[in-house]
Amino acid sequence: MSSGLAALSCYRRRFDSSDDDLDDATTKADDAGRPPLSARAGKRTENAWPPYPPPNETELERAVRLEEEREAKLRSDSIDRELEAERQSVRRGRKAETKLLLLGQSESGKSTMLKNFQIHFAPNALRAENDAWRAVIHLNLVRSVNFMLDALTRPIPSPTNNDGSPTVPSFSNRLSATPQPVGDLRRFKLTLSPLRQVEVILARYLSANEVTSPSEGRASPAAQPQASATDVTIRGGHTWRGLFRRWQNNGDEQQSRFSASIVEAVENARQILDACREDVIEMWNSPSMQSALRDEGVSLEDLSTFFLDEADRVMRLDYEPSFDDILRARLQTTGVEEHHLKMETGAENGEHWIFYDVGGSRGQRASWVPFFEDVNAIIFLCSAAGFNEVLEEDRNVNRLLDSFTTWKTICSSKLLASVQFILLLNKMDLLDARLKLGIQFSDYVKSYKDENDTEHVTEYLKRKFNAIHRHHSPEPRKLHVHCTCAIDRNTTSAVLLRIRDTILLTHLTAMELI
């Protein structure tokens, strides 16, 4: 309790004590303003309030006493109002502390789910980051194009037969055997070569450190070798979004010069993208190119096919990212990023929610622990489609098995004993597509004996996660489970509302308001 509240309560206690000391039937003064019977009978305590008239009270004394009582009543009402205001402010303060921790392995969809929260509850703030997201989307796209060009021109060691002859035709042989002339690939390599420069520019500036780079005249490159064609890594905590807010006149000339140089370089990159647009479309739509990619073993899932399909729109000079585009932009998280969401809609308008979005790869999980002590809820994401995938960082480990193990660790944590637990079975679209393709869930999960359809597999996953939660939680706790497809913001919005209700309920319960 604050000192103000304590002082007010103390005053209230003194004020109320008179009633405590009196019997029910005798506590009210009569209409003439005379004290209650018990008081008149000498039962009242010395400091009782309101003061009682001496037996021979004159008219003047009575008027003074009644005035004092009226003032006391006004003071009491004012105290009541202050107490209520303080209670509201404590309540708001608690809400301002709403902290949510997004957990789960890499690529489970944590950052995508966070973007859903932003789209739903703070759309204007997200829209203000459009310039930064455009750069991420462009980087996703050029990485895919450059990755394809590299894959198609990489010399492949051909396996040989016993007699030394190749068992499969080399790529160039295959390409010449297709209707697509080899010359086209050469042409694409040539005409699209400026995209190498675009990749460097965007990667460089997206990973730039606002504080150190201007003086050092360099930005830390993000263009580290990536596991997937489209992954973009930006160290957690970097205010990369802010780098694109033009000319924030904060009085720092060096900073402004740096921002201006970023803006100029990114504008150049956009010009190049616009100029390369038709060639990218032609290359991507060429059937022989796509079949060559497949022959080459390049998984289309590794490419940002969404943006390649949308190249005509995305590469135009006047392109503005839509919310659906932002949802699809892949930006691998490293470390722990703190995101403040100021609610712009609904009853929570103006409230602050703080999200901690973590990097999910194994090497980063130790950095989650310090955040356990101070959160209201955990939102754990598991890719339901991970059953036939392995971890990027350890290709011997099945993704679903890794999710079970991580979930068990999280559930067992004593630090999280009183935290709200929300589990999202994400990527339901991919699970559904894979099962419909005939991929057998039981081939990967030996204990699974049910039918190979989405409904039964989902039930199995829910049972499994629930059982781990029940057995390993330090004390009984409710688990909220939802199935999601984080790239579909329409279906996800219903889940977001239910998550919000869960969080609000936690608050009200904590404040003993219900």
Ligand X SMILES: Nc1nc2c(ncn2[C@@H]2O[C@H](COP(=O)(O)OP(=O)(O)OP(=O)(O)O)[C@@H](O)[C@H]2O)c(=O)[nH]1
Residue 426 binding ligand X, by CB under 6 A? yes
CB nearer ligand X, residue 10 or residue 494: 494
Q: Which string of DSSP letters, residue by residue, matches 344-392?
A: -SGGGTT-EEEEEEE--SGGGGGGGGGGGGG-SEEEEEEEGGGGG-B-S
Tell me whether residue 177 is annotated as binding: no
Residue 233 binding Mg ion, by CB under 5 A? no
Tell me whether residue 25 is annotated as binding: no
Tell me how far, at minimum, the Cβ of 484 lies from ligand X, in Å.
6
Q: What does the alpha-carbon distance between residue 331 and residue 314 come to, in Å, rounded to a whole number?
A: 17
CB nearer Mg ion, residue 98 or residue 111: 111
Task: Give burial (CB, 10 Å; 0-12/13-18/19+) of 344.
Answer: middle
Tell me whether residue 330 is annotated as binding: yes
Give residues 259-318 in contact with ligand X (rule: CB under 6 A). none
Residue 328 binding ligand X, by CB under 6 A? yes
Q: How far is CA 283 from CA 171, 312, 314, 493, in A?
A: 17, 12, 16, 36
Residue 361 binding Mg ion, by CB under 5 A? no
CB nearer ligand X, residue 276 or residue 385: 385
Q: Is 334 helix (H, G, I), strand (E, B) or coil?
A: strand
Tell me whether residue 44 is annotated as binding: no
Tell me how far, at minimum, the Cβ of 327 lies from ligand X, in Å.
7
Tell me how far, at minimum, the Cβ of 333 lies from ligand X, in Å.
3
Written as one letter, the residue type at 429 is D
CB nearer ligand X, residue 272 or residue 424: 424
Tell me if 485 sits within 8 A of 504, measured CB to CB.
no
Tell me if 207 sits within 8 A of 221, measured CB to CB.
yes
CB nearer ligand X, residue 44 or residue 138: 138
CB nearer ligand X, residue 105 or residue 213: 105
Only segment of 101-109, 150-158, 272-280, 499-507 that touches ligand X (CB under 6 A):
101-109
Which of 44, 100, 103, 112 is the binder for ligand X (CB under 6 A)? Answer: 112
Nearest to 138 by CA among 343, 328, 290: 328
* Residue 487 touches which member of ligand X, Mg ion, none, C-beta under 5-8 Å by kind: ligand X
Q: What does the alpha-carbon distance between residue 360 and residue 336 come to, in Å, rounded to a whole number?
A: 10
Which of 53, 109, 214, 321 is the binder for ligand X (CB under 6 A)? Answer: 109
Residue 485 binding ligand X, by CB under 6 A? yes
Residue 228 binding Mg ion, by CB under 5 A? no
Tell me how far, at minimum, the Cβ of 357 lies from Mg ion, in Å.
6
Tell me how far, at minimum, the Cβ of 230 lies from ligand X, in Å.
7
CB nearer ligand X, residue 279 or residue 488: 488
Residue 333 binding Mg ion, by CB under 5 A? yes
Binders of ligand X: how many residues, by CB under 6 A? 21
* Residue 427 touches which member of Mg ion, ligand X, none, C-beta under 5-8 Å by kind: ligand X
* Residue 53 touches which member of ligand X, Mg ion, none, C-beta under 5-8 Å by kind: none
Which of 108, 180, 207, 403 is the binder for ligand X (CB under 6 A)? Answer: 108
CB atoms within 10 A of CB 263: 17
CB atoms within 10 A of CB 416: 21
Q: Is 232 helix (H, G, I), strand (E, B) or coil?
A: coil
Structure tokens at 112: 């995508």
Q: Is 32 helix (H, G, I), strand (E, B) or coil?
A: coil
Q: What does the alpha-carbon distance between residue 439 and residue 444 come to, in Å, rounded to a whole number?
A: 10
Task: Give burial (CB, 10 Å; 0-12/13-18/19+) of 51.
Answer: middle
Tell me how far, at minimum, the Cβ of 423 lies from ligand X, in Å.
14
Q: In what order do the strands lie in the sheet with 377-383?
A: 336-342, 352-358, 98-103, 377-383, 420-426, 479-483
CB nearer ligand X, residue 199 or residue 432: 432
Only segment of 257-265, 283-291, 327-335, 398-406 that touches ligand X (CB under 6 A):
327-335
CB atoms within 10 A of CB 95: 19
Residue 427 binding ligand X, by CB under 6 A? yes
Q: What does the alpha-carbon distance between residue 406 and residue 173 come to, in Å, rounded to a whole number?
A: 47
Nearest to 243 by CA among 86, 410, 129: 129
Residue 53 binding ligand X, by CB under 6 A? no
Structure tokens at 3: 């000192």
Give residues 473-512 in contact with Mg ion (rule: CB under 5 A). none
What DSSP element (H or E) covers 277? helix 253-285
Give residues 96-155 in contact with Mg ion (rule: CB under 5 A). 110-111
Question: Which DSSP letter does residue 160 get?
Answer: B
Tracing tokens 């839509």 back to the chain, one arrives at 322
Q: What does the alpha-carbon distance between residue 402 and residue 343 come to, in Å, rounded to a whole number?
A: 34
CB nearer Mg ion, residue 237 or residue 474: 237
| Binding positions for GTP | 327-333, 426-429, 486
Binding site listing: 327-333, 426-429, 486
Residues lying near ligand X in the complex (CB under 6 A) are found at: 104, 106-112, 328, 330, 332-333, 359-360, 426-427, 429-430, 485-487
**Which residues contact Mg ion by CB under 5 A?**
110-111, 333
